[in-house]
Amino acid sequence: MKYVDEFRDGDIAQQLIGKISAEMVVGREYRLMEFCGGHTHAIYRYGIPDLLPDAIRLIHGPGCPVCVLPMSRIDMAIELAVAHRVILCSYGDMLRVPGSTTSLLKSKAEGADIRMVYSVMDALTIAEENPDQQVVFFAIGFETTTPPTAIAIQQANKAKLRNFSVFCNHVLTPAAIIGILDLPEVRTEDSLKIDGIIGPAHVSAVIGSDPYNFVAQQYKIPVVISGFEPLDVLQSILMLVRQLNEHRVEVENEFTRAVTADGNLKAQALVQETLELRQEFEWRGLGFMPDSGLQIREAYCEFDTEKRFNLSNRRAKENKACECPAIIRGVKAPEECKLFGTLCTPDNPIGACMVSSEGACAAHYSYGRARVLPPTNECSS
């Protein structure tokens, strides 16, 4: 397939690995965080850690949108479907993420009208077909998925679709980068535990490469925006190794076939017109972070589910045995969780990171790169 096969060529991959190995400084470690769940998936799928020299350590970041949504927001979605009896439309992965006491999938089995959709436009169609029922779209995701949500809200407004609203849980990548780099576990007084960042692909196609400049300027960490194919990832690692060896700190763009410095200005304008910054938003593993999420602007407030149903934020206790928060922060790996591959598997996920294919635990498990141990019965909430 054009633009895919040529980025999966094994001979070129070997050449890139040879270059990376040859250019590495003997005795130094290169700790590189991939922020995006798409990269985490590609890294496991193509066995990239097995191909790289040991001194290159890949650290998974908080870029899986399903993983970073806190349990409290899943509980709110369940409340909408069960107590408010709306038709709740959600992406398939979200149905399986455990809430405090149940999941959307279990609530659906018990009779709630919860429907899996492939896009927000499916939810709009459901609203048009069911004028007597309230239809809520459970919107999640980073900057990649915000433009379609904005378009749907504007279309619903034009069509005067009064039974449609959006439960907005969109989050922002730059805020997540700040959240990670400011963690006491990552940033000590005189050093950072991350040497370089493999920057998101699709998110950057929307926001551009310029919004990462602060990482180089303030945190003195190089960033290379990378495509999702294995050769993209290897080329980006080589570019980061070169920057680090040459003591350069820049934002470079490996994914030039889709990402520009400014990004997609039309999509940005649509989002800007429809959504605005929340003062703060809760992230699994990172807590409440300022300016890290979006909400629906006052001009479109009738399509804001939280206002329509007077929902208020609540606290939810995460399962103590699940290491998702530490994995999202990049300070633990999936195999360090005692439940990994035993009580927690993709068929029976106990934490969010085992649900989506972009979640570190699911990707690690699915591509058979983990030693699976017998069950230990140590799950507690």
- The whole-angstrom separation of Cα 136 and Cα 88 is 5
The smaller minimum CB distance to ligand SF4, of residues 258 and 343, is found at 343
The smaller minimum CB distance to ligand SF4, of residues 33 and 271, is found at 33
- The whole-angstrom separation of Cα 189 and Cα 306 is 40
The smaller minimum CB distance to ligand SF4, of residues 171 and 353, is found at 353
- Going by their DSSP bridges, the two strands 87-90 and 56-63 should be labelled as unpaired
- Choosing from 216, 337, 356, 358, the residue that interacts with ligand SF4 (CB under 6 A) is 337
In angstroms, how far is CA 10 from the centroid of its own chain?
28
Which span sits near ligand SF4 by CB under 6 A: 184-192, 243-251, 264-272, 344-352? 344-352
* 8 Å CB contact between 305 and 134: no
* 8 Å CB contact between 61 and 227: no
The smaller minimum CB distance to ligand SF4, of residues 135 and 360, is found at 360
- Choosing from 46, 107, 340, 356, the residue that interacts with ligand SF4 (CB under 6 A) is 340
Length of the chain: 381
- CB count, 10 Å around CB of 156? 25
> Residue 37, interface with ligand SF4 (CB under 6 A)?
no
Residues 271-330 that bind ligand SF4 (CB under 6 A): 322-324, 327
The smaller minimum CB distance to ligand SF4, of residues 121 and 316, is found at 316
> Residue 69, interface with ligand SF4 (CB under 6 A)?
no
> Residue 206, interface with ligand SF4 (CB under 6 A)?
no
Task: Give least dist CB 19 to ligand SF4, A.
Answer: 34
> Residue 71, interface with ligand SF4 (CB under 6 A)?
no
CA distances from residue 314 to 106, 230, 282 in whole angstroms, order as listed: 21, 41, 10
The smaller minimum CB distance to ligand SF4, of residues 105 and 224, is found at 105
DSSP 141-194: ESTTTHHHHHHHHHHHHHTT-TTEEEEEEEB-HHHHHHHHHT-TTTB-SS-BS-
The smaller minimum CB distance to ligand SF4, of residues 253 and 356, is found at 356
Which span sits near ligand SF4 by CB under 6 A: 118-126, 137-145, 279-287, 347-355? 347-355
Residue nearest to ligand SF4 (CB): 351
Which span sits near ligand SF4 by CB under 6 A: 29-37, 117-125, 153-161, 349-357? 349-357
> Residue 333, interface with ligand SF4 (CB under 6 A)?
no
239's tokens:
């570019």
Nearest Cα residue to 178 out of 35, 32, 68, 279: 35
Task: Give least dist CB 376 to ligand SF4, A.
Answer: 12
- Beta-carbon contacts of 190 under 8 Å, excluding residues fewer than 6 positions away, are none
- Choosing from 286, 289, 353, 363, the residue that interacts with ligand SF4 (CB under 6 A) is 353
- Choosing from 354, 356, 358, 363, the residue that interacts with ligand SF4 (CB under 6 A) is 354
Task: Give least dist CB 75 to ligand SF4, A.
Answer: 17
H or E segment and range at residue 305: helix 305-308
> Residue 344, interface with ligand SF4 (CB under 6 A)?
yes
The smaller minimum CB distance to ligand SF4, of residues 135 and 344, is found at 344
The smaller minimum CB distance to ligand SF4, of residues 40 and 149, is found at 40
Nearest Cα residue to 379 out of 344, 354, 348: 344
**Strand positions, DSSP E, the chain:** 30-36, 56-63, 87-90, 114-116, 135-141, 164-170, 196-199, 223-225, 251-253, 275-277, 280-283, 287-290, 294-296
Per 3-state DSSP, what percentage of the chain is helix, strand, and coil (rounded to 5)? 40, 20, 40
Nearest Cα residue to 40 out of 200, 277, 210: 200
Which span sits near ligand SF4 by CB under 6 A: 45-53, 213-221, 283-291, 333-341? 333-341
> Residue 350, interface with ligand SF4 (CB under 6 A)?
yes
> Residue 229, interface with ligand SF4 (CB under 6 A)?
no
- Going by their DSSP bridges, the two strands 280-283 and 196-199 should be labelled as unpaired
The amino acid present at 13, given as its one-letter code, is A
Task: Give least dist CB 347 to ligand SF4, A.
Answer: 12
Footprint of ligand SF4 on this chain (CB under 6 A)?
322-324, 327, 334, 337, 339-340, 344, 350-351, 353-354, 361
